[in-house]
Each structure stands twice: as structure tokens, then as C-alpha cells.
Amino acid sequence: MKEVNWIALTIFVLLFGFITWLGFAAARWRKGDLDLLHEWGLGGRRFGTVITWFLVGGDVYTAYTFIAVPALAFGAGAVAFFAVPYTIIIYPLMFLIFRRLWNVCHKHGYITAGDFVKGRFGNRWLALAVCVTGIVATMPYIALQLVGLQVVIGAMGISGTGLMADMPLFIAFVILAAFTYSSGLRAPASIAIVKDILIYVTAIAAVIVIPYELGGFGKIFAAVPAQKLLLAVPGPNTTGAYSAYATLALGSAFALFLYPHSLTGILSASSGKVIRRNAAMLPGYTFMLGLLALFGFFVIASGVDKLPEYAAGFKQFGNNFAVPALLLHSFPAWFTGVAFAAIGIGALVPAAIMSIAAANLYTRNIHREFINKNPTAKQESHVAKLTSLIVKLGALVFILFVPTKYAIQLQLLGGIWIIQTLPPVMIGAYTRWFNSWAMLVGWAVGTFAGTWMAFSVQLANTFPLHVGDHTFPGYSAVYSVILNLVIAIVLTPIFNAMAANKAPVDQTVAADYQT
Amino acid sequence: MNNTDKKRGGWSWWYLLFVVQFAVALWPPLYNRAEPYLFGIPFFYWFQLLWVIISAVFTAIVYFAVEE
């Protein structure tokens, strides 16, 4: 087994110690009564433009992104760059739709997407579907963050047998659980700032130093095999890699803002204006993500995957080891420690937000709706804190006992599932034309069809949709949500006619959506 | 006051900039080529990175046009 990299490990542990302290200290930051759910779970809705920038950035650009996007570029080439158009189109969505959602949620004290759907459509079962989908889709996402952490811990040469092998992950988990429990959303918000500074330092240093070491971008791209350099031009009767690329970007973009943790980040902003400003400022991260994707090509050009000292890592973690190997190879040990800490802390921030978001959902849309209808404020926040622990424990058990491969596949399915909540949540922000039962049927059919499509291609990224002689390979999430929408549109007039005497219930009025 | 309310809640022609932003980002045939290179980087990569910056500028323009 390879030796422990003590210098990197020391820097890593020191930085982890610092953010642990910060996570607990955050409870006193912009102090609020943490026995209230909106204080614990939304940071009191007090975050301004800058904090929201870091927080939403922490949501979107996670440890797993930093590991997986370059790994995909390394393995599959140009297609990995879909992350760039994906993160280009999320911001207009944020600008238009989430400003409206922020307004209405603020006005009525909604904390989750389920709260909004219940208020808007008066259907607790539709709200339950949104809530359960959110929780189920989030769990593997949290697990994936821990995968990112596992890879960098392994890369520092820490290994063991049996229980000892999982000890570092277990410690990181306990730290995460403890500060989330005590500080709520304030903890990831404050840690996100440290994380981003470290990530930016790492990315900028790497993008300058590594191409210099490798003899310039020209040499790097010359080393990339031709079939990886560009998307394959589609043959006759198929839209080939083009439709795959575009639908992956489009589907991922819509799915992203339907994930509970994105809404949590957005609802914690102090005003709708903060949301719109951020839509213009967040592309700063997208640019960095594009640079990080290029790391995959740096790996190809540097040939670290062929060096014997990294063979064990590649064997254990597959292509996910590409970035850690590149960093180990290119930088002195102390800087590798900084970079690994950036990735590790980059895992804790989204994991904390995700567990808080899932806890908010359970508390509001399951516990309060079906178990204890009139909780005191203190009981409510207590349930949320406990749930956040259970959710994280679930993710940890998943990572320790289930092969990583399944976490990645479940996360892929999670994207397909979460996008099925688009009609009630995103379109619901504009109109309540849809019948809530029609949307519920659409949701069920979309979820089933999307899952079937994914399994029919052995959980590959894209599904080949055949129409006549033509083939349109694309992201199953996009195809299944279109089916979902069509069903909801067709069934709405039918269901409305069947229940013509019932007046629709809507807590919200048009003015609630505007400033 | 009434006037600004209307502007903030409803449609604005400035939103067409978003349509441009979407259309270009989601149309790979437009940028799926290697030439011309910039500092040794193929067009496919540097164009999309440039489009990130242009998109951010578009969003900022819409923000100032609609919000201020």
C-alpha cells in the first residue's frame, strides 16, 4: 500500500478543524431563535447578495462535480462539457421563475416546494408526491458527496482494513451532522465562503501551472484523441450526440432547481432582488466549472493514469481518481492538501444544505400534514433537526455498504424523478390552470416512464427515442417530463368536468408573485 | 408606482436576450468544431466559455433594464 502523504494530510486536517469551528460559531451569526424552523432551516431568510452567491454556488458546484465532470472529460471527452450550457441556462430560469417563487413563499411563510404546492393547489397528496420525490432524489445526492470525500481521503494515502478504512469518513460525517444540528443553514452558508476561496485558488493555480508544466494548451489538446476532442457528428436519420448534449444540458438545468436544496438556498435570500442579482453573478462559477472540465484533458496529456504510483487509486476509484492523481502529480504536497481540503469541504457544504432541505420537507409536508397537525414552533424545529441526522445517517450507511456505482446510478435516476415535479412547482408559479389530480397522474406516469427508459438502456445517460425511421438520443428526464406534461394537459379538462361543482382552492393571489 | 409594478410582474421584451442565450447554448452544431483555435484551445471549448461571459452580461443587462 502507498504511504500516507503527511504534509497534505496535516494541511487538510487543519483546514477541516477551522471549518468545524466555523460551523459551530455560525449559530451566533446574525443571531436568531434556532427553535423556529425558518431560522434553523432557512437562516431566518436574511442572506444578502453575497452570502446567497456562496450558498447557491455551494448547492450547484459540489465536490462530486469537481471530481466527476473532469472524470467524464477524461473518460468520454467533449460530452462532459455539457455542464457548461447546463449552467448557462439555469440562471435565466432562476431570474424568471424563482423570483416569483421567492415572493410567494415569503408572503405565505412557505419553506418547501411541498408547502407551495399545497397552498397553490390545495391538494395534500400532490404536495406529498413533491415532498417524497424531493427526499428520495436527495438521498443519493448526499451519498455522492461522501464519495467525493472518500476519493480525496484515499488519495492522501489513508487506508486500512475493515472498520478502520471507513474511520475518516465517519469522523467527517460526525462533524457535519453536529454542526448542521446545532447551527442549521447558517453553518453551510459560512463554510461555503471558505470552500469557495479554496476552490478558486486551486482552480486558478491549476489552470496556470499545469498547462505551463505540460507545455501549453496546444500540446494538451494535441494529446487528446480525435474522437474525444469534439462531439461525434450525427449520421443520417439520427440527431446523435447533438440531441444528447442539448437534452442533457436542458434536463439537468430544470432538474437542478427542482431539487429541495436549491430551493432552500434560494428561499434563504433576503429579497427577490437578491435572487435576480445572483442570476447575473453566479455564472462566475460556471466559468470555473468549464475550466475544471478541462482538467480531464490535462490528465490525458500528463499521462498520470499510466504511472505506477497511481495505479492503485485508479483501480479503486476508477476515473474519479483522475483529478486527485493530477493534483498529486503537479503540485507540492502542501498545496495538494489545500486542494483536497477544498474538495472535502466542498462535499460538506452541499451535504449539509441537502440534509436540511430534506428535513424541512419531512417536517412540513409529512410530519405536520399527517402526524402532528399542530406542533409548537419548538417541536417543529426539533423534528427537522432529528430528521437531518437520520437523512445523513442514511447516506453514510449507503456509502459504507453499497458499491459507489449504485450511488451514481441512483443519482442519475434522482434527476429523472425530481424533474417530474416541474408542472406543479415551476409552471405552478405562473398558473393554476392544471388540475391537481391530473398533475398527480402525470407525475406518476412520468416517474414510471423515466425509470423504465433509464433501465432499458442499463442506466446509460441517454435514451434512443425512435420516431418513424428517426432516432433522437436524449436524456430520459426530458422525454419523461414531456410525457408527464402531455398527460396533465389532456387530463385537466376531463378531471375538471368530473368535479365541476368544486371550487378550486388557492391560498395565493396574483399579486403575491410580484414585488 | 403602478407602472413599475406592471413592468416587474409581466413580460418584458428584454427577456428575448434569454431566448438568444438558450438557443445558442442548446444548439451544438453551432460550435462543434475545432477551428479556429485560441491559445491552442479548440473553438468548441473557448466558445462555450466565452458564451458563459456573454450570458452573464445579457442577464445583467436584463437585470438593470427590468429592475432599475
Q: Which of residues 27-46 of B touch A (CB under 8 A)?
A: 27-29, 32-34, 37, 39-42, 44-45
Q: What is the pLDDT of residue B9?
A: 54
CA distances from A77 to A127, A393, A515 (A): 40, 35, 44
- Whether the CB-CB separation of A120 and A375 falls below 8 Å is answered with no
Q: Contact B40/A220, CB-based, under 8 Å?
A: yes
Q: What local confidence, expressed as pLDDT, does residue A150 receive?
A: 83
The reply to whether B50 touches chain A by the CB within 8 Å rule is: no
Q: Does position B5 have pLDDT exceeding 50, yes or no? A: no
Query: Which of A37-41, A446-450, A481-485 has the weakest average pLDDT?
Result: A37-41
In the predicted model, what is the mean pLDDT of residues A88-107? 88
Domain count for chain B: 1
Mean pLDDT of B34-49: 89
User: Quick one: residue A122, left, alpha or beta (phi over 0 = left, psi -120 to 50 = alpha)?
Assistant: left
Between A86-90, A113-117, B48-52, the lowest mean confidence (pLDDT) is in A86-90
- Separation in Å, CA B46 to CA A2, B51, B52: 38, 8, 10
Residue of B nearest to A286 (CA): B52
In a domain, A452, yes or no: no
How far A19 CA sits from the closest chain B CA (Å)?
31
Alpha carbon A468 to its chain's center:
36
Q: Do A81 and B48 touch (CB under 8 A)?
A: yes
**Banded pLDDT at B4 (limits 50, 70, 90):** very low
Q: Which domain holds residue B41?
A: 2-67
Across the range A228-234, mean pLDDT stands at 84
3-state class (DSSP) for residue A136? helix
Q: Is the pLDDT of residue B3 over 70?
A: no
pLDDT score at B51: 92
A40 near A381, Cβ under 8 Å?
yes
Domain count, chain A: 1
User: Is the per-residue pLDDT at B1 higher than 50?
Assistant: no
Shortest Cα–Cα distance, A478 to chain B (Å): 13
CB-closest option in B39, B42, B56 to A229: B42
Contact A291 B28 (CB under 8 A): no
- Domain interval for residue A259: 6-22+48-233+241-408
Band (A418; pLDDT cuts 50, 70, 90): very high
Q: Which of A245, A279, A290 sits opposite B28 (nearest CB)?
A: A245
**A204–B contact, CB cutoff 8 A:** no
pLDDT for A438 equals 93
* Contact status, residue B47 vs residue B9, Cβ threshold 8 Å: no
List chain B residues with CB under 8 Å of A221.
Answer: 37, 40-42
Hey, is the C-beta of A17 within 8 angstroms of any chain B C-beta? no
Res B7: pLDDT? 45
Residue range A482-500, pLDDT digits in tens: 999 999 999 999 988 887 6
Q: Which pLDDT value is given to residue A216?
A: 86
Q: Is residue A140 part of a domain?
A: yes
pLDDT of A29 over the 80 cut: no
pLDDT tens-digit map of A383-417: 888 888 888 888 888 777 777 777 777 777 889 99
Q: What is the CA radius of gyration of chain A?
A: 23
Classify residue A417: in a domain, yes or no: no
**CB-based contact, B14 to chain A, within 8 Å:** no
3-state SS track over B4-66: HHHHHHCCCHHHHHHHHHHHHHCCHHHCCCCCCCECCECHHHHHHHHHHHHHHHHHHHHHHHH
- Report which listed range, A64-68, A81-85, A215-219, A419-423, is most confident: A419-423
A163-178 pLDDT, tens digit per residue, is 666 778 888 888 888 8
Find the residue in A nearest to B19 (Cα).
Answer: A92
Among candidates B27, B45, B63 on the partner chain, residue whose Cβ is nearest the Cβ of A294: B45
At residue A157, the pLDDT reads 78
Q: Is the pLDDT of residue A215 over 80?
A: yes
pLDDT of residue A31: 75
User: Per the structure block, which three cell numbers stand in for A106?
Assistant: 415569503
Residue A24 has pLDDT above 60, yes or no: yes
Q: What angle do CA A74, A77, A79 make, to 5 degrees?
A: 125
**Full-model pTM:** 0.89
Q: What are phi and psi of A52, to 5 degrees?
A: -60, -35
pLDDT value at A132 more than 50: yes
pLDDT tens sequence across A176-214: 888 888 888 888 888 888 888 888 888 889 888 998 888
B7 in A contact zone (CB under 8 Å)? no
**Percent of residues, chain A, with pLDDT higher than 70:** 97
Whether pLDDT at A461 is above 80: no
* Closest residue on chain A to B4 (Cα): A515
What pLDDT digit, counting tens, does each position of B16-32 carry?
888 898 889 889 888 88
- Please give the average per-residue pLDDT across B30-55, as a whole number: 89
Stretch A109-116: mean pLDDT: 91
Q: Do B56 and A514 touch (CB under 8 A)?
A: no
Instruction: Identify whether the C-beta of residue A270 lies closer than 8 Å to the C-beta of residue A44.
Output: no
Choose from B16, B18, B26 for mutation: most chain A CBs within 10 A.
B26
Q: What is the ipTM of this complex?
A: 0.86
Find the CB nearest A515 among B8, B21, B26: B8
Given an 8 Å threshold on Cβ–Cβ distance, is A273 in contact with B9?
Answer: no
**pLDDT computed for residue A65 by the predictor:** 80
pLDDT on residue B47 = 93
What letter represents residue B49's amino acid?
L
- For the cut 80, the answer to whether the pLDDT of residue A448 exceeds it is yes
Amino acid in the structure at residue A268: S
| Per-residue model confidence (pLDDT) at position A478 | 92
Distance in angstroms (rounded) separating the CA atoms of residues A188 and A382: 19
Provide DSSP, A250-289: HHHHHHHHHSHHHHHHHHTBS-HHHHHHHHHHTHHHHHHH
Q: What's the pLDDT tens digit per position in A283-335?
A: 878 888 888 888 899 999 988 888 888 888 888 888 888 989 999 888 888 99
CATH number at residue A71: 1.20.1730.10
**What is the average per-residue pLDDT within A365-376?**
85
